[in-house]
Structure 1
Amino acid sequence: MNKLTLLVFLSIFSTTHLLAQPCSLPGMTPSSAIPVCGTTPFVQPVLANCSGQPVAIRGCTDLATSDRAFWYKFTCYQTGTLGFVIRGVDVNDDYDWCLFDITGRNPNDVFTNNTLQVSLNLYGVGSEPSPPFPQTPTGCTPSGSGDVHCSGAANSNSPFNRMPTITAGREYLLMVNNFTVSTQGYTLTFTGGTASITDPVLPRLTRASSACDTRIVKVKLNKKMKCNSLAADGSDFTIN
Structure 2
Amino acid sequence: MRYISLLGLAVGLWAQSLPESDCINAIAVCQQTYTYTNSPPDYGQTQELQNNTCLLNNEQKTAWFIFTVQQSGTFGFIVNTTYDYDFALWDITNSSCASVGSTAPIRCNFSADNGNTGLDANNPQSGSLSWNASQPPIMPGLNVTAGQTFVLVLDNYTRDQTGFTITFTGTAQIFDNAPAALVSATQDCNRTNRIILRFSEPIACNTIAPNGSDFLISGGLTPVAAGCVGGGLYSYEVYLEVG
Calculate the TM-score normalised by the size of structure 1.
0.60
| Percent identity between the two aligned chains | 28
AA paired with 2:108?
L
The residue that corresponds to 2:116 in the other structure is 137
AA paired with 1:69?
T
Instruction: Judge conservation of contact 2:121–2:142 (CA < 8 Å) in 1.
Output: no
Instruction: Judge conservation of contact 2:74–2:122 (CA < 8 Å) in 1.
Output: no
Instruction: Judge conservation of contact 1:102–1:173 (CA < 8 Å) in 2.
Output: yes
Query: Any gaps of 5 or more consecutive residues in structure 2?
Result: 1-15, 180-208, 215-243
Larger Rg: 1
Mapped to 2, the partners of 1:145 and 1:164 lie a distance apart of 4
> Which of 86, 95, 109 lines up with 1:96 in the alignment?
86
Instruction: Judge conservation of contact 1:145–1:161 (CA < 8 Å) in 2.
Output: no
**Structure-2 change in CA distance of 1:122 and 1:167 (3 Å):** same
AA paired with 2:161?
T
| Cα drift, residue 38 of structure 1 | 3.2
Mapped to 2, the partners of 1:183 and 1:137 lie a distance apart of 16
> Which of 149, 153, 163 lines up with 1:171 in the alignment?
149
The residue that corresponds to 1:109 in the other structure is 99
The residue that corresponds to 1:122 in the other structure is 110
Structure possessing the higher relative contact order (Cα contacts under 8 Å, 6 or more residues apart): 1
The residue that corresponds to 1:48 in the other structure is 41
Mapped to 2, the partners of 1:166 and 1:73 lie a distance apart of 14
**Structure-2 change in CA distance of 1:173 and 1:50 (3 Å):** closer
The residue that corresponds to 1:7 in the other structure is none
The residue that corresponds to 2:171 in the other structure is 194
4+ aligned runs moved over 2 Å, structure 1: 49-58, 142-153, 199-202
Instruction: Judge conservation of contact 2:21–2:43 (CA < 8 Å) in 1.
Output: no
Q: How many residues align?
A: 165
Calculate the TM-score normalised by the size of structure 2.
0.59
Query: Any gaps of 5 or more consecutive residues in structure 1?
Result: 1-22, 126-134, 203-208, 210-218, 221-240
